[in-house]
Structure 1
Amino acid sequence: MPFRTSGLHHVTAIGGDPRRNADFYLRTLGLRLVKTTVNFDDPGTYHLYYGDESGRPGTLLTFFPWRDAPRGRVGTGQATTTSFSVPERSLGWWRRHLGEAGVESELVHRDGEDALNFRDPDGLTLALVAHPQGDPRDPWDTPAVPAEHAIRGLHSVTLSVSREDATAGMLTEGLGLSFEAEERNRFRFAAGEGGPGATVDVLVTPDAPRGLVAAGTVHHVAWRAPDEDTQSAWRDELLDRGVGVTSILDRQYFRSIYFREPGGTLLEIATDQPGFGIDEPLLELGRALKLPPWLEPDREQIEAALPALDLPAENNPVRT
């Protein structure tokens, strides 16, 4: 396997009301809205990207928030938990903070790590994980969530499957991950040296129902490729292995290919470049609606269909 991902690029989920979605991820979780754009396949809805200051790969949770989306069903063939990395001694602070926001949470210990499990307003399962070795990534610092407690980026995702063997084969042979640990019906795989942002857990639940992707569930999980040449060669290798892979798609801020792992979860390989600074300055990320060139002629119609977002001033420090 010549191609190995260095870790998670982003996770994309389905949300409900976009204003409620932005309020929760900006004000309650303290992330930054680094890009406000639309679903390129359905420009009547937003595509909102939340992450660190510049939206570096490995920090991003993104949403397609449809106001009238039905509630999804969590089950096999899905990524069922998206976990963020926080400092080791911050879980107590986060439990109080979430409680003050009316969010119920549960402290758990798993795989040598303490975690706080909770759900967003649409029911998406999230976790904050305190990795014992720490996380050197710089956080986005806001008045609501100070830097000493702030989210550092993605920690891991959990894929739920009815059986693990074929999924494990795709992770190791298709993405270049390594098997790291097993705990009852949970199998951990890691990219590179592992740690926050480079981990996936495979949870085997043969009696669980098949998941239904809609509001409150993950749409796909994206893994990193360093550049387009690597991505293109990687695509050829997946095709040679008999995997059904899309053509390379232009997502403006990265290039993407998509395929399903055998357990049913939609995966993506996304390039690290060009990044979110190609069409607006760092201090203004997320402030204005950005459209790809082929949608610009329809800007007036698109903007009229989208509800206004109430962004906190600190999302764009130039305002303060």
Structure 2
Amino acid sequence: MTSGIHHVTGITSNVQANVDFYVGFLGLRLVKRTGGYADAEQLHLVYGDGVGSPGSLLTFLVWEAAGRGRTGIGQVSEVALAVPPVSLGDWITKALAANIPLEGPFREFGEPVLRLKDPDGLIVKLVGVDMATPAPLPNAPIRLRGVTLLTDKVVETARFLTRFGYTEERRSGVTQRMGSDTDIVDVREVSGFVPSVSGGGVPDHVAFRARDIDELRSMRLSLKGHGPTEVHDRKYFVSLYVRDPAGILMEYATDGPGMTVDEAPAELGRTLFLPPHDADRAEDLRAMLPQFALPGEERFPARDLPFIHRFNRPQKPDGTTLVLLHGTGGNEAYLMPIARRIAPKSTLLGVRGRATEEGTNRWFRRVDAKTFDQQDIRGESEAFAAFVEGAVTGYGLDPDKLVFLGYSNGANMLAAVIQLHPGVVRRAVLLRGIQPLEKPPALDLSDTSVLALTGRDDAFARNAPALADALLAHGARVDSLELSANHELAAADVTESTEWIQRKLSMNR
């Protein structure tokens, strides 16, 4: 039986900061970038040694702008990476120079340990111990040394780990060390703690090594009386998922096929791969998934602006930018697929509304389905106007090549900004928008062009003319079209928006 850890999976809320830490600071190699196999709209990054060997792998699910998770019972709490003992002094110097939070060195079970925190707050321990990996990288951790588990059932958790080839080594205080042929798992008793909550900085699970599918099948049979298990083909390995008696999510993953099944060793980590079952929406997913730059690659600096936002850049941008405002329940990536079809060569800037309603994102609060909080609309419109100004200045966007596209609640937000802050939004496509303002001010909108697309079968369609009339009354140029559609977006929205945007931008040439 193969023993030891295959990989550890964490959660990050900032993909660029995560890449900068694990590749730029630690020196690991990005060996795979994929859409998630459980959720293809979630980016999944894999770091490891030079060829992505089992036992060297750290993987991260990207939850952009997610809140910090909560450390507690039933989780992996620390990840330990082996480094040559003589290198610890260099790591201290490097961490101090990079302003990485650092504690230590300490001695744990006789081994020297440095505790670092990654950008999400995950504790990464560098342990001075000689270990081996098939493709070591210069000036980088060698491989996984182990993990620490938090449990209120230390005896049961330790016994469960014996299924994966671990045996009891020794105990120090509230921590029981379990060892395999290659690494360790520290089982820490934390009775009285609150349960863990998923989020940035909290590991999702630890995966142990199975030599092949036969070992995995045998493990599943042995767990029949334990509780539910799931088996999934993740392309690079086959995985069995199970929870230990304390609720800790554990995985049993085959060593093969491995990270080189779809990329040559020299090309690892360069291509974004998507799950085969999502092939029919591959282009939409490429537009939605967050982009990042590896160390040394040209990058777009992030700016601290009042709204969460994300860029998606095509390979050959034409200098135009579409600013996207989602509808209720959407986020900064929601409109990127349709926007990419509308403007294949435009840079997309998706923005997330700051209001929430029963846990869903909105642009402003409402009293009921037809009554909007007027004070909140005005406050958020002012904040959005400041965001636009900051984005134009901070990212070097060309105001003459800027188009705004909003859907439903996002279209209503754009309508409010147009009327309250003339000149901020000069070209806008309003998809299923209505008038959000009860008393719009009498301001000059003659520098504004709007395309208003209404669905003929939309329940809100009867409210759309009031918005167009208000804009026209104050000098805006408005093209209103009624489509054979309901409130949902349709192919005609793409066709009409594409033609209108091309025509309006060509007037500036």
Do both share a fold (TM > 0.5)? yes
1:300 to 271, 283, 288: 283
Deviations 1:92-146 (A, max 9, x none): 1101111111112111111010000011001111100012xx11325653xxxxx
- Indicate whether 1:252 and 2:231 are aligned: no
Mapped to 2, the partners of 1:176 and 1:243 lie a distance apart of 20
1:266–1:5 CA distance, 2 compared to 1 (3 A):
farther
- Indicate whether 1:285 and 2:274 are aligned: no
Mapped to 2, the partners of 1:213 and 1:140 lie a distance apart of 32
Paired position in structure 1 for 2:4: 7
Paired position in structure 1 for 2:204: 219
Question: How large is the RMSD of aligned CA atoms in angstroms?
Answer: 1.4
* Unpaired runs of at least 5, structure 1: 142-146, 315-320
Mapped to 2, the partners of 1:139 and 1:98 lie a distance apart of 24
Equivalent position SS for 2:285: helix
Equivalent position SS for 2:206: strand
- Indicate whether 1:63 and 2:47 are aligned: no
State the Cα distance separating 1:249 from its structure 2 match: 0.6
Deviations 1:196-243 (A, max 9, x none): xx210001111322211211101010000000111112111111x323
Paired position in structure 2 for 1:136: 132
Mapped to 1, the partners of 2:254 and 2:134 lie a distance apart of 21
1:270 to 243, 247, 253: 253
Paired position in structure 1 for 2:165: 176
Q: Greater CA deviation, 8-17 or 299-308?
A: 299-308
For the 8 Å contact 2:242–2:251, the answer to whether it is kept is: yes
Equivalent position SS for 1:49: strand
Q: Matched residues, percent identical?
A: 40
Equivalent position SS for 1:93: helix
Q: Which has the larger radius of gyration?
A: 2
Mapped to 2, the partners of 1:63 and 1:88 lie a distance apart of 27
State the Cα distance separating 1:307 from its structure 2 match: 2.4
Mapped to 1, the partners of 2:177 and 2:241 lie a distance apart of 22
Mapped to 2, the partners of 1:121 and 1:313 lie a distance apart of 19
Equivalent residue runs for 1:42-121 within 5 Å:
42-107=39-104, 108-121=106-119
State the Cα distance separating 1:298 from its structure 2 match: 1.1
Mapped to 2, the partners of 1:161 and 1:65 lie a distance apart of 26
For the 8 Å contact 2:76–2:147, the answer to whether it is kept is: yes
* Unpaired runs of at least 5, structure 2: 298-509
Return the letter of the residue paired with 1:122. Answer: D
State the Cα distance separating 1:5 from its structure 2 match: 4.3
For the 8 Å contact 1:79–1:159, the answer to whether it is kept is: yes
Mapped to 2, the partners of 1:130 and 1:139 lie a distance apart of 19
Deviations 1:40-64 (A, max 9, x none): 2221221000000110000000000
| Count of residues paired in the alignment | 296
Equivalent residue runs for 1:197-212 within 5 Å:
198-212=183-197
Equivalent position SS for 1:268: strand
Paired position in structure 2 for 1:186: 175
Return the letter of the residue paired with 1:24. Answer: F
Paired position in structure 2 for 1:161: 151
Deviations 1:281-306 (A, max 9, x none): 11111101012221222111001012
Mapped to 1, the partners of 2:119 and 2:222 lie a distance apart of 40
- Which of the pair has the greater relative contact order for Cα pairs under 8 Å at 6+ separation? 1
For the 8 Å contact 1:139–1:151, the answer to whether it is kept is: no
Mapped to 1, the partners of 2:136 and 2:98 lie a distance apart of 19
TM-score by length of 2: 0.57
Return the letter of the residue paired with 1:33. Answer: L
Equivalent position SS for 1:57: coil
Equivalent position SS for 2:223: helix
Q: Greater CA deviation, 182-191 or 290-299?
A: 290-299
For the 8 Å contact 1:98–1:105, the answer to whether it is kept is: yes
Equivalent position SS for 1:126: strand
Paired position in structure 1 for 2:301: none
Q: Greater CA deviation, 64-73 or 7-16?
A: 64-73
- Indicate whether 1:27 and 2:16 are aligned: no
TM-score by length of 1: 0.89
Q: Detail structure 1 runs of 4+ shifted over 3 Å in the superposition.
A: 138-141
Equivalent position SS for 1:214: coil
